């Protein structure tokens, strides 16, 4: 039996393109090119039935190393804490005050993009500092 080496992370959301473009900015991802025969995503969208327009959007790591992110419109809003969340590794290899300063700077950048800072968890004897955040639709993620 072969092992699967690639994954796609799927987000349920109200506004797929808005959330996808936020995550493009967070991660340095890009919007893939539209399907063949279409000059842009707007052209592709106009080819769809009205009820399907804007129902999904995607973004990808330009290096191909990270997973594709897929955003699909759902009718219900978010009502509970995520069971799975992304950790954005902004402070890898850093410790103490240097790590916290780096995380706070990235937090400020993401807040300017529409994210919300929920709480700062300071380092203790077992864990380094991290920051709990929410994206533009309230999905939790951590800067660590």
> Above 70 in pLDDT, residue 6?
yes
Determine what percent of the chain is predicted with pLDDT higher than 70. 99
Both tokens assigned to 126:
């077992």
Both tokens assigned to 116:
């919300």
**47-75 pLDDT, tens per residue?**
999 999 999 999 999 999 999 999 999 98
44, 54, 64, 72, 113 from 47: Cα distances, Å = 5, 11, 28, 18, 30
Query: Could you report how far apart the first and last alpha carbons of the chain are, in Å?
Result: 35
**pLDDT given for residue 109 in this prediction:** 97
Contact 81, 71 (CB under 8 A): no
Query: What is the pTM for the complete model shown?
Result: 0.89
Both tokens assigned to 60:
């990808």
pLDDT grade for 1, boundaries at 50, 70 and 90: low
Per-domain residue ranges of the chain: 8-73, 86-143
């Amino acid at each position: 039996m072969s092992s699967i080496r690639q994954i796609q992370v799927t987000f349920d959301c109200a506004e797929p393109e808005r959330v996808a473009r936020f995550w493009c900015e967070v991660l340095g991802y890009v919007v893939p090119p539209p399907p063949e025969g279409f000059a842009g995503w707007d052209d592709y969208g106009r080819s769809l039935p009205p009820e399907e327009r804007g129902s999904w959007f995607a973004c990808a790591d330009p290096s191909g190393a990270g997973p594709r992110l897929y955003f699909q419109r759902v009718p219900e809003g978010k009502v509970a804490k995520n069971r799975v969340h992304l950790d954005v590794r902004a402070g890898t290899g850093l410790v103490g005050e240097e790590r916290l300063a780096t995380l706070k700077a990235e937090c400020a950048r993401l807040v300017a993009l529409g994210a919300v800072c929920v709480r700062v968890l300071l380092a203790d004897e077992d864990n380094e500092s991290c920051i709990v955040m929410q994206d533009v639709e309230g999905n939790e993620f951590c800067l660590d």
